[in-house]
Chains A and B, each alone.
Chain A
Amino acid sequence: MTDQRDDKEFAAFLAGESELADRYQALGSEQPPVELDEHILAAARDAAKVHRLEFGPPGGWLKPVALAATVLLSFSLVMKIGVDSPVRYEQVVTVSKESDSTLEGQSEPVFYEQLARSLPQRTLEMKNMREEQQSEQVIEEVTVTGRSRSIELKDAPMAVSILGSAEQSIDQDAALLIVAEYVAMLKTKSDSGRFRLQEMERSNESTAKEPALTASSPVASKKDWESIDKLQTEDDSESMLREIVRLYTSGSNNEAGTRLDEFLAHYPDHPVSVKLRRRGY
């Protein structure tokens, strides 16, 4: 019975309903000294000031700075991706309709001439490019009478060096045409569809046959490549053309001219011969 009463009173005490609580309250409500209050509150204010200096007020500069940092980081990332990506430099040279009509039937020589003549200018532009851009896939696209063909600009210096030799010779037009024809031919034979300097060098050093032809370039029409398709089966004529180009490149213009005459005599129906005759060679 006494235990039950104790439990009841203890439960009341826990609930805050007990005489003991009143007795405890009667002990007094002493407070710390005022000096202590001042000291602690001053310390609290100092600590809050430090917090504000370190972190700023709530909703202050912290959020804008975080946002700015995020934007900056994102921008840098985008820029970095942009720099690392291949840069394509494309220029379209379009021959006017007037030229088109007057040069009907001579569109391919015009095309090659345009291509060959544009190479020095493209080479100059390349010098102004960054090195990493030069190493990337940069395509020079030349459009003649609605048809387009492409050459990698990084291969332009080699072609220009051939032209440079050719321009000093008396057979400048023929040299231009041969070079352009040869560039186009190698372009179609390359697996990647690109004209490569290494390929040219290899072909000059070796008599090995060129790799098998791929399907014609997607930018070339059937008619465009008919003459080149014929060349595929004429390895000897190819070798001769390669040799003529090599001679022009090395500056042996007289010998190149002699070989060119031989070429014309042996292969009168070769597209290059036909084109050269059209130009009055």
Chain B
Amino acid sequence: MLPGMANRPDDKVLMVRYRDGEVQAFEVLYARHKGPLYRYFLRRGLGTEPAAELAQEVWMKIIRTKDRYEPSAKFTTYMYRLAHNCLIDLSRRSAYKITQQVIGDDIDVAGLPATATANPEAEAIYNESVEQFRSALANLPDEQREAFILKQESGLSLADIAHVTGVSTETAKSRLRYAFSKLRQQLIRNRDKA
């Protein structure tokens, strides 16, 4: 457990408090998950604007349906299930295809983490490796990429990933394993090249 986690109110508790009318609880919840949700859409291949629109759609659904919220499952599972469905709806209504090419366009450079060193050459190498990883992620089949993103962004378990994506735990594990293997091989190839 990370430092400070002990006093961190559970997501479900926050959502129940918000359901009961405590808006501050929602503010905490939103601050905690707004970034991961937004990045979930970005990494799935959406540009910043569609990612923001879908994120807004998910949050509005959470707000609108708060009175029916039952803390039976993890809040993140509930939220990403909504996000997963929103993305499917988007692809259906606008014939929008989640493509590998979109990912990486439209990236806010200011949002990228600072490089570890002030050395320009090392910085260039670092940035190149990041872009290679980004490209490798974008080249993953969408189902594998989604499983990997869910794992990395919110630390969902295999069972949670299975629930969000509507598949069995074994299928979710298989997808995640493929994603892991492909990304690791890409990493090794890039190292060899360097």
The answer on a CB contact under 8 Å between B30 and A44 is yes
Q: Check: B38 CB closer than 8 A to any chain A CB.
A: yes
Interface string of A124-152 (1 = CB under 8 A from B): 00000000000000000000000000000
Q: How far is the CB of A43 from chain B (nearest CB, A)?
A: 5
Which one of B5-13, B21-29, B74-82, B89-97 contacts A?
B21-29
Q: Check: B99 CB closer than 8 A to any chain A CB.
A: no
Q: Check: A265 CB closer than 8 A to any chain B CB.
A: no
Q: Check: B32 CB closer than 8 A to any chain A CB.
A: no
Interface size class of B (residues with CB under 8 A): 35 or more
| Neighbouring B residues of A9 by C-beta, 8 Å | 180, 184
Complex CA gap A44/B176 in Å reads 35
The answer on a CB contact under 8 Å between A44 and B152 is no
The secondary structure that dominates the B interface is helix
If A28-B113, A44-B30 touch, does A6 touch B181 (CB 8 Å cutoff)?
yes
The answer on a CB contact under 8 Å between A10 and B111 is no
Complex CA gap A36/B31 in Å reads 12
Interface string of A34-78 (1 = CB under 8 A from B): 001101110111011001100101100000000000000000000
Q: Jot down 28 A-B pairs with beta carbons below 8 A, ordered by A.
A: A9-B180, A16-B155, A20-B180, A20-B184, A20-B187, A23-B129, A25-B113, A27-B112, A27-B134, A28-B108, A28-B111, A29-B35, A29-B111, A29-B113, A30-B38, A30-B39, A30-B42, A30-B108, A31-B35, A33-B48, A33-B52, A36-B52, A36-B56, A37-B30, A41-B27, A43-B59, A47-B64, A58-B22
